[in-house]
Structure 1
Amino acid sequence: MNEKLAVADRVLSLLAAVLKCPVAMESSRENLAAWDSLKHIEVMFALEEDFDMQFSEEELSELSSVQALVERLRDGHEA
């Protein structure tokens, strides 16, 4: 549980910095106007760098919410 909170805090902080707006666990590309297609690429590259990992092309399009990103990054670090 503590690991999930640490990952969530990192993701929220990084997204807020890239998108330059407040971000919550419920945020997604559908409900956050600042998270457009160009910013999505910036978000994904920033997450890859911060977490020292790489997303597949499929994940780049599927991971479009804070919750999905947190779950994927948490699972990737437990593996």
Structure 2
Amino acid sequence: MAPLAGAELVQTPVQLYRYLFRCCRKLPTTAMQQHYGHAIRQGYRSHSDEDDPERIQTIIQRALTDAHWILEKYTKKK
């Protein structure tokens, strides 16, 4: 499964936050959606004081990669 449309347009932490929540809606169960939604909020809060642009871009790229991996894992056809 490819990432949601617009992954390449994510440039800011707020755009990433919104994108990740849209990805959560694609998970198969409500429990998974709540679990990963909580993880997204926690990650956003823990990095809210980050001010280095290079570090922010690294975090964004890693989060996009992880989101794609999680969607692949849980929506894979069996």
Q: Give the TM-score, by structure 2 length.
A: 0.36
More helix by share: 2
Structure with the greater relative contact order (CA < 8 A, sep ≥ 6): 1 or 2?
Answer: 2
